[in-house]
Amino acid sequence: MSLSTIKVQRSSINFTGTDPKPQRPLIASAILAIFVDMRAQVDVAAGGGVDGTLVPEGSDNLLPFFRIFDGARTPIIEISAAEMRQKAQREVRGQSVPGVQLVSPSIQVATQIRRHYALYFAKPRRANPIEVHLRSKDPQNFYLEVQYPGTGLVTDLATALITGGNRTVTVSNYTLDISVLYDPAAFVRMLPIFQPRIRRYSIQAPLTQKDLEFKLKSTATAISSSLIKTADAGVVVENALNAITLRDDATVYRDAVFVRGWHEEELAQYPALENQAGVAMAYFGDEFADNGRLGTLLAPGQGGNVRWIFDVNGGATRAITIINEEYERPTGLTADEAHLPAGLL
């Protein structure tokens, strides 16, 4: 990979209030990263006179899903803006671009909000980032899709930001600028060792169950990372978990780690991680490529019954979502070519 060969495909999507899931074709080959710049204007008028409450994660709620499709109708990439932000903060380990959040639900005129998101396929801190990049199997049906809140109406944008109260909230000039970084030279020169996929799995937490198991039944060759997210009645919530375990039948990888200790460790490792109240203890990440090398990835087929075990802090409306970055092997690549253990191929 050389900076001189990297190109950018740019597109803008303007909210119209008529299309809840706009799409754009992807012409890029060997995609390294995708950057999304979101901006909008918020006005809050007097209305009935009672302020509402800001929804947790704020402006990130304006983009509940970002997807990439490659032929089939099942997305190969599916992630929300908030999850994208959390994931990138753990991968880059540098200072993130904070953007401008909505900070008050009170009366205001022409408040400009702006948020920035990044999705890295070639990880900046990996030993050899180009070993993993995204390329299409079906270039004629390779496209990205964004999904707006609710059914994509103007009123749905307002309730994604502010709940309750009886002010008149208006969101306008909502635009997404999307930049896709790709390397045509890498596409010609080499296959990626792995093809990335981002998949989501959700489980509902019973009202009373101390140890809630989630088995990683992925068909992927390996798992690069997991991001755990806790929510209550569909809204991200802190303190839903007491401890987290990761194990298979043979090995315990994380043994009942208390979530407070997990969070403090992440803050020490990832300087870019936002310790935002109401959100900080709702996300927990785990990276399996130790020291940036692919040979240590978690392989669901090894050891048998790889599973998360969550010590849940009660509540029948609480849900746990696991966002996995999973790797699949390109057709035709051998273990010798990839310089990886045969078990990972």
73 falls in which pLDDT band (50, 70, 90)? confident
Q: pLDDT tens digit string along 274-317? A: 777 778 889 999 988 776 667 678 877 666 788 899 998 876 67
Q: Smallest Cα–Cα separation from 66: which of 179, 148, 134?
A: 148
Residue range 166-193: mean pLDDT, rounded: 88
pLDDT for 130-157, tens place per residue?
Answer: 788 898 889 999 999 999 998 888 889 9
What is d(CA 17, CA 70) in angstroms, rounded to the nearest whole number?
26
Considering the domain 193-344 in this protein, what is its CATH number?
2.60.120.730
Sorted by where each begins, the domain ranges of the chain are 8-184, 193-344
pLDDT of 25-42, one tens digit each?
Answer: 999 888 999 999 999 999
pLDDT, tens digit, for every residue of 38-51? 999 999 999 888 99
Please say whether the beta carbons of 201 and 214 come within 8 A: yes
- Percent of the chain at pLDDT exceeding 70: 88
Q: Residue 337 pLDDT > 60, yes or no?
A: no
| Structure-token pair, residue 265 | 């460790």
Bridge partner list, 245:
309
Q: Count helices and strands (H / E) in the chain.
A: 5, 19
Q: What is the mean pLDDT of residues 118-125?
A: 88
Q: Is 257 exposed, middle or buried (0-12, 13-18, 19+ CB in 10 A)?
A: middle
Angle CA(251)–CA(253)–CA(257) in degrees, nearest 5? 130
Q: Report the Cα 276 to chain-centroid distance in Å.
A: 17
Query: How far is residue 82's CA from residue 87's CA, in Å, rounded to a whole number?
Result: 9
Confidence of residue 196 (pLDDT cuts 50, 70, 90): very high
pLDDT for residue 318: 82
Q: The tokens of 158 are what?
A: 């307002």
3-state secondary structure of 269: helix
The pLDDT assigned to 291 comes to 65
Could you tell me which CATH class the domain 8-184 is placed in? mainly beta
Q: Is the pLDDT of residue 342 over 70?
A: no
The mean pLDDT value for 211-239 works out to 84
Report the half-sphere exposure of 183 (CA within 13 A, side-chain side).
Answer: 22
